[in-house]
Structure 1
Amino acid sequence: MNSQTPDQTAKSTNLADILPDTGTAAPPVDTSPEAHPRNFGSDNWAGVHPEVIAAIAEANVGHTPGYGGDPWTQRFRDIMAHHFGPEAQAFPVFNGTGANVLALQSALPRWAAVITAASAHINYDETGAPEKVGGLKIVGAATENGKLTPETIKGAIIGRGHEHNAQPLAVSISQSTEWGTTYTPDEIAAIAATAHELDMILHVDGSRLGNAAAHLGVGLGDITTAVGVDIISLGGTKNGLLGAEAVVVLNPDIGHGMRFLRKMNLQLASKMRFLSAQLNALYEGDLWRNSATRSNEMALYLADSLAEAVAQSRVHGIEIVQRVESNVVFVRMPAEVAARARQTFAFADWPLEKDIVRLMCAFDTTAEDVDGLVAAIAGD
């Protein structure tokens, strides 16, 4: 029997009594804009769009059923049906890796293989989650610009029907790709036709689907439902959300276990209304397109400004290595130039090819930010 009073118990578990006294308190986080300047490290580094913050605050009212039984989640399902067709089934999740694993796992048996580009996020950047968590084999095919073709897919199919081999039952494309390139509707339709002829399904990793649609000047359904895509990982965080993505099932013949797999894969939110409220703010109107267009335009402006700086001999030894078709610019840059520019701006080395850096724009990137980066690269 515990003879301590509640006050004594509380005192004995006070953190100040347990932790060592260092003599200093943790300094508060500096929230001044100067302490967190915009840079080109990643669109994940950007903050949250003010309209999304407002939507979260508006949803923070009273009590409502959890786990998706709320009106915000029902509204999200209706919005997705508007974009992707009446048969679309939408499932909010926490993050992009979770969306990819859940989408593929829901559509495929455990013996399946997924053909994708070697540079694809599911192959290179997810710590093996599709294989370790999803139980699927990922087959990364070499590409020149991050884009699969029907011929590449056919060449990657091996071991079909052999019990010693994982069975190629899905194709996954990134839209836009990890190299910033964008599939046209015709290219996706050709891939979908190839996949379906080979009894495979087509998954789209759409973490930047909005950027692709904005670049092409089309709707979200025009590069998915209309061209034969079966299932989508729909992005949000990279386009201004606090932290929300979704799996959207387009093919009614797949994804039947989604309700159970989402929970099993740790992607079922109890307070789902706050995920859905974010997604609604992004996709109900034009915010997704406006934000994606802004980041795309800043990437084009950056590429043009760098080309102009080279033409004016303000900077030497740099080369844009991919067409700019989304919100990223890939530049071959000498180490000394990159080091000089990094004294002012953050950006990433591209691990897939030597001496290439990735300059990523976001929904809040400004022309002044771009001008500053170009000046830093040029040493002005």
Structure 2
Amino acid sequence: MLLPRARGPLSGLLRHLLLEGTEELAELDATARGRAATMPALSALDDEDLQLSLWMIYELSFRGFDDVDDRWESAPEVAGLRAVLERPFEQALRDATTSWTERALAVDGDVADQVFALAAGFDEGPDLSKFIRKEATPDQVRHFLRQRSVYHLKEADPHTFVIPRLTGPAKAHLVELQYDEYGGGRSGFLHHELFATTLRQAALDDTWGAYIDDADAPTLASSNAMSLFCLHRRLRGAAMGHLAAFEATSSIPCRRIAAGLLRTGFGEDAARYYDEHVEADAVHEQLAAREICGTLVRTGDVTARDVLFGAAACLVLDALQATALMAQWEDTGASDLAEAPL
């Protein structure tokens, strides 16, 4: 994958730094610090320039870019910029989730009960899976798949970074869950490979990063939140809370999306990725919430508030993604979607 096109001055200067060197570092640093200092509350979540810049920096720790030297991953210039941009992003996530976190903390029971109550009671945003099941056109389904490819083509990778940050039973259970995500060690059954099959069956490009240039801000923010949580030891509780909420809200929506894929004519091979998650995630939600998060809180390794912050962030960002997609579908005709360079 090559570096994506810039979405504004910040990502433009970062792109130049990664491709050409440090000539414009001072300007990039000033731009980043100025943006971070003046950004209104919550606006970091829908700022494409900031989210793309963070996404490019995080991607250096995953598969990298064909046109960027891998040594940039650990370069102090990039590390400093990442810290500057993460501050308004993390603060926006905390601001957007405070009420949900407090509500969950008031629920009687352990942290797993609180995560499940949070997921069950969360009511922001449209129900995207119901729309895909009953009403979405084939072009809307393709649009949905293109946006989701930004995460699903590297599915499970962010949470794997947390494994060395845990010990004891919680670590063992996370390895157990991730083993399933990676297809039980069988090539062809890795979840990101199953999603690649879905893309091909929908006549879409299954190449990693193929649609990054058209990923909207909520899609980038959703991916970035996982990287933020999973690449910082201090946020390991939020990372596992995010995982628990992700799994707890996956099974039923996946059943609906699979049905929507069949209804719109994409076939059983296209639906296989979602079919796999119907049963797997029903098990994973218990594993993540009770055995991983529950153990971490009981042993005092993390707090319930840490876990619920991550869980609420997962739900809020998913709602923002759904809202953005539905808004675009309401404003764009089916023929326009089909022709859009997504």
The TM-score, its normalising length taken from structure 2, stands at: 0.31
Structure holding more strand per residue = 1
> Max radius of gyration: which structure?
1
The TM-score, its normalising length taken from structure 1, stands at: 0.29
Structure holding more helix per residue = 2
